[in-house]
Amino acid sequence: MLHILFLFSLLFSSSHASVQDFCVANLKGPDTPAGYTCKSPAKVTVKDFVFSGLGVAGNTTNIIKAAVTPAFVGQFPGVNGLGISAARLDLAPGGVVPLHTHPGASELLFVVHGKILAGFISSANDVYLMTLKRGDIMVFPQGLLHFQINAGGSKAIAVVSFSSANPGLQILDFALFANNFPSPLVEKTTFLDDAQVKKLKAVLGGTG
Amino acid sequence: MLHILFLFSLLFSSSHASVQDFCVANLKGPDTPAGYTCKSPAKVTVKDFVFSGLGVAGNTTNIIKAAVTPAFVGQFPGVNGLGISAARLDLAPGGVVPLHTHPGASELLFVVHGKILAGFISSANDVYLMTLKRGDIMVFPQGLLHFQINAGGSKAIAVVSFSSANPGLQILDFALFANNFPSPLVEKTTFLDDAQVKKLKAVLGGTG
Amino acid sequence: MLHILFLFSLLFSSSHASVQDFCVANLKGPDTPAGYTCKSPAKVTVKDFVFSGLGVAGNTTNIIKAAVTPAFVGQFPGVNGLGISAARLDLAPGGVVPLHTHPGASELLFVVHGKILAGFISSANDVYLMTLKRGDIMVFPQGLLHFQINAGGSKAIAVVSFSSANPGLQILDFALFANNFPSPLVEKTTFLDDAQVKKLKAVLGGTG
Amino acid sequence: MLHILFLFSLLFSSSHASVQDFCVANLKGPDTPAGYTCKSPAKVTVKDFVFSGLGVAGNTTNIIKAAVTPAFVGQFPGVNGLGISAARLDLAPGGVVPLHTHPGASELLFVVHGKILAGFISSANDVYLMTLKRGDIMVFPQGLLHFQINAGGSKAIAVVSFSSANPGLQILDFALFANNFPSPLVEKTTFLDDAQVKKLKAVLGGTG
Amino acid sequence: MLHILFLFSLLFSSSHASVQDFCVANLKGPDTPAGYTCKSPAKVTVKDFVFSGLGVAGNTTNIIKAAVTPAFVGQFPGVNGLGISAARLDLAPGGVVPLHTHPGASELLFVVHGKILAGFISSANDVYLMTLKRGDIMVFPQGLLHFQINAGGSKAIAVVSFSSANPGLQILDFALFANNFPSPLVEKTTFLDDAQVKKLKAVLGGTG
Amino acid sequence: MLHILFLFSLLFSSSHASVQDFCVANLKGPDTPAGYTCKSPAKVTVKDFVFSGLGVAGNTTNIIKAAVTPAFVGQFPGVNGLGISAARLDLAPGGVVPLHTHPGASELLFVVHGKILAGFISSANDVYLMTLKRGDIMVFPQGLLHFQINAGGSKAIAVVSFSSANPGLQILDFALFANNFPSPLVEKTTFLDDAQVKKLKAVLGGTG
């Protein structure tokens, strides 16, 4: 029976370096268009595939009464190259996750607790809205503007997953008002009034 | 100001057919290697993007004390072509989801309730095991054998997501013992004893 | 020498149906996540691979003094499945293509005539701005908000190409103000003032 | 124990339509950029996954003393969507498979019998040549010109596989001389002499 | 005529670094989700694209009377990034390649010598079995359990190719019995009897 | 209002490294099958996304009276990983871009100035020819032989884009006659006469 062992150990010993079903991110190494370079398989442990950060409620004592806790490849190196990642969404009563897109992934939302009004807008300019209850799932196609609002009287929690280890996140108000995007350009490319732009820049810390 | 409308309505009217950010599955139409053909965009509503079936506990009054409720493209047509899908996992005390693979997707598990002992085995033959608590996530790389076991005294619930709209599901015991796979071949290709094979075939309804 | 002919004609006759290097869209057939079904190769002519619509200036006598003429798969069936498409951009003096995204493709812009101020905003909230002159090219990564403005005193023309046959187009102002997206939700998810939202809805034909 | 059966039969009965690990081509249905639509899973048998045509020697009694027998999706529907296909190559003594490319796939050649001189030319214009003996494999990167020549005194046989179910095949001489490509254009775009072009057109049946 | 040379040499000299149709693996460099980093093109020779290891019979003087010789990227760096690789299969009379999966690729088997009984099991739990003779090919869809058995009285040889440079290889018995996967977990997740598990662990060197 | 800032700055600060919508090539770093490793996002500026080299006419005072100026990843690092690139084509009267292929991309040509006769040949050996005027676009499917000829009396200019950051470029005459490809092999694999081969080798600098 030792022959079986012998056969396969030969096979495995010679090919161990290339028998790699996963590629845990080496976050200190370079990134590539397909993800980070891989941590040495010999150093990989089960901890690389487990992340506990979504078990902790985000801090919603802020003006939007909401918090997003990501488990993208930057926080959770085990998803590198696997085409999937996650995040936790906490919405206090009245909380809202403002309009945003994920340039690199579709999103699937699962309501863990409470009620959430969610919606997205398509390229054809149609609005898809639904109030979701505990246990409902909703899918948001890649790259489209979408939002989530607490639709109940108590806190709401959702866990979302993405079709990429690194979905990206572009929050509309931050893209417009929380950087040095010159106000005249913001106004020219959005048709928003100067007063409106300056008001929100003041709130969100934008300059220009 | 009507000119803006005019400009864009021209643009949109001419390109409506091709401005399609999603492709809700027409399950009655043919399937293709990239997913089902698309339902007409004009007939798509928000209901196509929402699925409520994961809000209902699966029936765990069975021998494995577990239930899996899928939200793959077959149940949830909105995920067609979006590279993501989901499922719900219910584990009564003592419940187990036996060893299985998803040939077409990586899996990300989120523990909604209870404690779950989960694990997978790599091509290099290493075993990655962890007991997960509420809020933990774990990722299982595509195509590898993995399992989940209730590790606490009360029911456990998890929601899992996949990096494909159609991940597939090959349950080891069913592949071996619940079909007409001839017993001599099962034995020759697994080294299992004849008595063992026949015992499990009897339990799981296999023939041959 | 006839034997060569014989050999290859056999080869070609038997495999003609499957030797298909392209898949010209049958726009009357169903769409799929990978593109439209293919027109019969026997009916394909060179006209399927040529499009003359970008040779005609778009009508810029409108409020934004700009026009976009698409050559996506809906207008140019020959690009189906080839991962590329194009559009023409006309900007009269003062013209602007407002903030928009392409959910399904990166964009490469080539300035044919005039000067164009172009920019995009990243997920990290950084603004990348440049005034482009004739002959310059600029690339806009997939899914990010970007815009183009005529930066000279005369008309400007650009031809843009995309990394998909069907890049999609989500114009920010139309997603917010030109449909039935309820004003209270627009305000809640953008922090814009009610007056601002209603003013732009009036201009762009939005309801709710 | 019936409960296991009950559980899984429920699971399988509801999802049977979508649990599809393969997509055997329905060659009578439409093609798509990702491959043919799928034959109904209920009608799929093992015969769809097996092809015997490569077991028969091609007829090499022709001027090039060679024959190529394809097992692409058009001949072997089981490979549809699986990213792989094959072909058999027979080379009588002195036989040659002239310069050609596969626009849609890389190729891997395995020498079953005899000796074969194979080569490819890269974009950087480098020539990679090797005489292969029985059991050797050689890989030809996608889209590059390559050839195979019998390098021994007896017949040579190779089996080749491709990284696509439909790799395409463009034989240089046929692209130039075996169709209605006008001779003046052939000459202008290849620098070949008129006499040379007309000589080969006569041999290969070209017109114009 | 020197002008042609001048033109193209300029073109090539400036773009040589990026004109790379292949990416021969630098096995000493880091791996990425898309494969290894590339060996410098200047150091690439034809030997990188040729592998002779499959020309040598594997040692089948073992208990399974079979041997698998891989030509994956780890052994054959030229296939890196090309979506293809290969292996040789030797089966002495009575030999068997036990149930296994390739998590990352579909497989195409070509019978070089002898008779082979091959089979795979689908997600839908169907068994596809066929006895293959010399020259037959069979395709095994990605991620599904499959096996090969010598079905004749003499040695059998097959060459298999894969739709990935790194298909992975998970042998069922080794995943279950040849590592430190704790026996109680094996039993709970497979329904196998304790005696059976311990018997095979003893044979295959498993612990726990 | 600071709470919004606080919330998002936390989000952004922790995930900045992974929130990367682009991957500007570090041309000094290693290449991979998916493109070059990424320049540090902190060092990226708008200049990385802009390229001015296509604004300058190529030198057409050569025998083919044509010039190709590439903006592939090697010249324009911003396109790395974005699936798009470009080039400029200058054709003096009588100019010709000889038959060539791009092994890694489809091409879309836009006529900026003049008239161009363009064509490609399919795997099925069909020739697709068209004389294009200013503003016309034509698409050339990946990997197929194609050419462009000035079809007017004045200079012609085109800008072409590709469905890859690194399309590759194999010029037929250079593959055959401008390297050390041995003449007997060229002749055997193309059926060209020895005199023809040696004549063109002399012109293009080939040896062997």
The DSSP letter of residue B191 is: -
Report whether B107 contacts B186 (CB < 8 A). Answer: no
What's the gap in Å between the CA of F1 and the closest CA on chain A?
Answer: 6
Those residues with Cβ within 8 angstroms of residue C10's Cβ, 6 or more apart along the chain or in another chain? none
Residue C92: its pLDDT value, please? 98
From residue D194, alpha-carbon distances to D190, D197, E82 in Å are 11, 5, 39
Q: What is the 3-state secondary structure (H, E, C) of F136-201?
A: CEEEECCCCCEEEEECCCCCEEEEEEECCCCCCCEEHHHHHHCCCCCHHHHHHHHCCCHHHHHHHH
Question: Which of A96, A123, A174 has its CB closest to that of C103?
Answer: A123
What's the gap in Å between the CA of F199 and the closest CA on chain C?
Answer: 25
Residue B63: its pLDDT value, please? 85
- Which of A146, B135, A175, C120 has the alpha carbon at shortest distance from F12? A175
Which whole number is the average pLDDT over C79-106? Answer: 97
DSSP, collapsed to helix, strand or coil, labels residue D48 as: helix
CA A53 to chain centroid, in Å, comes to: 13
Residue A63: its pLDDT value, please? 85
For chains C and E, having 3+ Cβ pairs within 8 Å is answered no
The more confidently predicted of residues E63 and F90 is F90
Residue F148 has pLDDT above 80, yes or no: yes
Maximum distance among all alpha carbons in chain D?
A: 82
Place C19 in a pLDDT band, splitting at 50, 70 and 90: very low
Q: Which residue of F has its CA nearest to D171?
A: F123
What's the gap in Å between the CA of A151 and the closest CA on chain E?
Answer: 40
pLDDT tens by residue, F151-200:
999 999 999 999 999 999 999 999 999 999 999 999 999 999 999 999 99
Number of helices (H), then strands (E), in chain B = 4, 13
Amino acid at C81: G
Residue C1: its pLDDT value, please? 38
Contacting chains of C (3 CB pairs or more, <8 Å) are A, B, D, F
- Mean pLDDT score across all residues of chain A: 92
Report how far residue B74's alpha carbon sits from residue B27's, in angstroms, rounded to the nearest whole number. Answer: 7
For chains D and A, having 3+ Cβ pairs within 8 Å is answered no
Report whether F115 contacts F151 (CB < 8 A). Answer: yes
Class of domain D47-164: mainly beta
Instruction: List, edge to edge, every strand of the sheet that includes A50-51.
Output: A50-51, B137-140, B107-113, B156-162, B85-91, B66-71
DSSP, collapsed to helix, strand or coil, labels residue C29 as: coil
Report how far residue D7's alpha carbon sits from residue F202's, in angstroms, rounded to the nearest whole number. Answer: 76
Place A14 in a pLDDT band, splitting at 50, 70 and 90: very low
Place F9 in a pLDDT band, splitting at 50, 70 and 90: very low
pLDDT tens by residue, D46-94:
999 999 999 999 999 998 999 999 999 999 999 999 999 999 999 999 9
Could you tell me what percentage of chain F is helix, strand and coil, using 3-state DSSP and rounding each to the nearest 5?
Answer: 25, 30, 45
Question: Which of E86, E106, E130 has its CB closest to that of D50?
Answer: E130
Residue F135 has pLDDT above 90, yes or no: yes
Give the tokens for residue C78: 């020959």
Report whether E139 contacts D82 (CB < 8 A). Answer: yes
User: In CATH, which superfamily holds the domain spanning F47-168?
Assistant: Jelly Rolls (2.60.120.10)
Class of domain A53-168: mainly beta
Contacting chains of B (3 CB pairs or more, <8 Å) are A, C, D, E
| For testing contact with chain B, the best of D7, D14, D28 (most B CBs within 10 A) | D7
Residues of B in contact with C74 (CB under 8 A): 14-19
Is B2 exposed, middle or buried, given 0-12, 13-18 or 19+ CB atoms closer than 10 A? Answer: exposed
- Mean pLDDT score across all residues of chain F: 92
Residue E16 has pLDDT above 90, yes or no: no
For chain D, strand residue ranges (E) read 31-32, 35-36, 50-51, 66-71, 85-91, 96-101, 107-113, 116-121, 127-132, 137-140, 146-150, 156-162, 170-171
Give the tokens for residue F197: 């081969």
Residue B143: its pLDDT value, please? 97
Cα dihedral value A78, A79, A82, A86, nearest 10: 150
Q: What is the 3-state secondary structure (H, E, C) of chain A?
A: CHHHHHHHHHHHHHHCCCCCCCCCECCCCCEECCEECECCHHHCCHHHHEECHHHCCCCCCCCCCEEEEEECCCCCHHHCCCCCEEEEEEECCCCEEEEEECCCCCEEEEEEECCEEEEEECCCCCEEEEEECCCCEEEECCCCCEEEEECCCCCEEEEEEECCCCCCCEEHHHHHHCCCCCHHHHHHHHCCCHHHHHHHHHHHCCCC
Residue C164 has pLDDT above 50, yes or no: yes
Report whether F54 contacts F86 (CB < 8 A). Answer: yes
Those residues with Cβ within 8 angstroms of residue F180's Cβ, 6 or more apart along the chain or in another chain? D127, F206, F207, F208
State the Cα angle at E109 between E121 and A41, rounded to 5°.
Answer: 75
Q: What is the pLDDT along chain B (208 residues), one digit of tens a residue?
A: 344 444 444 444 333 333 469 999 999 989 999 999 999 999 999 999 999 999 999 999 998 999 999 999 999 999 999 999 999 999 999 999 999 999 999 999 999 999 999 999 999 999 999 999 999 999 999 999 999 999 999 999 999 999 999 999 999 999 999 999 999 999 999 999 999 999 999 999 999 8
Report whether E156 contacts E115 (CB < 8 A). Answer: yes
Which whole number is the average pLDDT over E71-78? Answer: 97
| For testing contact with chain F, the best of A27, A32, A101 (most F CBs within 10 A) | A32
Report how far residue A130's alpha carbon sits from residue B48's, in angstroms, rounded to the nearest whole number. Answer: 11
Domain residue extents for chain F? 47-168, 175-204
pLDDT tens by residue, A23-35:
999 999 999 999 9
Residue B187: its pLDDT value, please? 98
> Is F187 labelled as part of a ligand binding site?
no
> Is F113 labelled as part of a ligand binding site?
no
Report whether A23 contacts E82 (CB < 8 A). Answer: no
Place D3 in a pLDDT band, splitting at 50, 70 and 90: very low
Residue D63: its pLDDT value, please? 85
Q: Which residue of E has its CA nearest to F29?
A: E37
Question: Which of F99, F102, F178 has its CB closest to that of D189?
Answer: F99
Question: Which of A96, A117, A181 has its CB closest to that of C121?
Answer: A181
CA F189 to chain centroid, in Å, comes to: 27
pLDDT tens by residue, C5-14:
444 444 443 3
Residue E151: its pLDDT value, please? 98
From residue E26, alpha-carbon distances to D67, E23, E31, E40 in Å are 36, 9, 9, 8
What's the gap in Å between the CA of A81 and the closest CA on chain E?
Answer: 5
What's the gap in Å between the CA of A172 and the closest CA on chain F?
Answer: 12
Report how far residue A170's alpha carbon sits from residue C144's, in angstroms, rounded to the nearest whole number. Answer: 7
Cβ of F189 within 8 Å of Cβ of D147? The answer is: yes
The DSSP letter of residue B160 is: E
Residue A19 has pLDDT above 90, yes or no: no
pLDDT tens by residue, A114-130:
999 999 999 999 999 99
| HSE value, Cβ hemisphere, 13 Å, CA-based, for D208 | 14
